[in-house]
Amino acid sequence: MNDLRSQYSALGFNPGYYDLLILDRNVSLDPDFTFDFNAIEYTSILNVENLNFQFSQEASTLERFAGEGADPNTFGLGKADFNGSFNMLLKVPSTGYVDFGFAHLFDCATLAYKGTGTSFSSRLITSNNNPVGIGTTFFTIDNIADFKSLTTPFQMTLKKESGSETAETVTVSSVDKTNRRLYLNAGTARTHTPSQTYLWASATNPGTNREPSFSLVSLMQGLLSNCLVDKLVIDCKPGQDVDISCNFKFTNINRKYQIDMFSSFNNLALQNSKYKAQRAVSGSEIRINNTSYTSGGFGLTNAIGQPFFNGFQGIGTTSFLVKEINISIDNQLEHVYALHSVSNDEYVRRRENLKPHAIISNGRKIEGTIKYVSPIAPWTLAEKLAGPSSINNGGIEIDFGTFKISFPEVVWSGSKADSPLQDNQTKEIKFLVTTQKLTNIPVLAFSNSF
């Protein structure tokens, strides 16, 4: 980083390209928010622009009380609300598929409806706060109910909140709810002081499941943990590069990782140099196609015989007439707050409990908009009949040349037409993804349409 710094920029008045943003999909759950710089690969580095962070926490005055003067005497701290956003170009590396960073984000966006994972934490209880010695075979804890839900045997870690003691991972063989005890299959190998230690375990996620949450580490911001993609938008316009915008939420920030990021900057820059040559994908490369559809019209008639289609209208949309395609994956996320802090310090607990504990989804919504010109000659007035794909000649497939995204089950909305005097008539149709299944995960499928 010394090559990028001078005596004039040492104060930190640096443009955004001095930062690095790294995505890590290893699970990092409350309160064990950690990051391993040794596990970084060049595919984890995101090439983004317009990087924004919001660490909102209002310090507002309460209602006025009798006896106050001209200025308020009371205030209150609101809940912390952590959000971020950035843009990135859709790029194709020389390998001919799609940028790894976008592939990670798209996968996380399709899975974020699951919400953040759950962890289980508690504090040790001993008489007079005496240390737990080597060879201890059970612990008495203050939150036995959560651990009772885990299937034994399971692994648990004794983490250090403070002090110089070493963390230790043990195996719990049984849970005694009545006496609030966790029994181990072997004695502890180290000494643990209750005032400096908390117990932590996470639920086992089957290997076939991909975690929706991820961590972001930034030179300017540190470690952002328990991130979920709130909304991902793909905007395609002919003659312009395909733009990706991403809004995300997270539950914790730790600035100590700025130090690690700074000391590792040169090595991270070498990882970034491993990127293959890439090119931006142009909106002119995008093609749209119909997909197969499930038979059945839900009691709705198709376009044949409809007065709406008795003229020159058709239900197909030709790719070269499209002016803009917009695809949105909106997970409608919101933060959840709880008394989740396990800190032994009362003042730390007060602050930590104002931070989000988890993130949940109010249901995923995948939708898109197609804007296109619809000339009257040679009679290509494309329309869609409001209703499912089965009465509109199928769903939609958006082909980017090297990959494609298919939405076979959609509901089309009626079109909107705009006829300005100084320009071509433009039409706009919308689609909303529906599914017969409980869940449907869109994927980036390989394509070689060129």
Question: pLDDT (tens digit, 9 = 90+) per residue, 148-162?
Answer: 888 889 999 888 876
**Residue 272: what are its φ and ψ, rounded to 5°?**
-65, -30
The domain spanning residue 148 has which CATH number? 2.40.30
Q: Which H or E run contains 154? A: strand 154-160
Q: Yes or no: say if 331 and 228 are a contact pair by the CB < 8 Å rule.
A: yes
Question: How many Å apart are CA 151 and CA 123, to the nearest integer?
Answer: 20
Residue 436 maps to a domain: no
Q: Which H or E run contains 405? A: strand 403-407
Residue 158 maps to a domain: yes
Residue 161 maps to a domain: yes
pLDDT at 210 over 90: no
The count of other CB atoms within 10 Å of the CB of residue 411 is 17
At 111 the three-state DSSP class reads helix
What's 112's DSSP letter?
G
Question: How many Å apart are CA 89 and CA 243, to the nearest integer?
Answer: 5
Residues 6+ apart with CB under 8 A from 154: 171, 172, 201, 204
| Sign (positive or negative) of CA dihedral 353, 354, 355, 357 | positive
Overall domain count for the chain:
1
At 383 the three-state DSSP class reads coil
User: Biggest alpha carbon distance in the chain?
Assistant: 89
Which range has the worst mean pLDDT, 110-114, 126-130, 374-378? 374-378
Residue 184 maps to a domain: yes
Residue 326 maps to a domain: no
The model's pTM is 0.84
Question: Residue 183: which domain range?
Answer: 119-202
Question: pLDDT (tens digit, 9 = 90+) per residue, 69-90?
Answer: 777 777 778 888 999 999 999 9
pLDDT value for 105: 93
Residue 182 maps to a domain: yes
pLDDT value for 328: 96
The segment with the largest mean pLDDT, out of 44-48, 141-145, 439-443, is: 141-145
Question: pLDDT (tens digit, 9 = 90+) per residue, 100-112?
Answer: 889 999 999 999 9
Which position has the higher pLDDT, 347 or 38? Answer: 347
Q: Yes or no: say if 341 and 348 are a contact pair by the CB < 8 Å rule.
A: yes
Residue 188 maps to a domain: yes
Question: pLDDT (tens digit, 9 = 90+) per residue, 220-232?
Answer: 888 898 999 999 9
Residue 297 maps to a domain: no
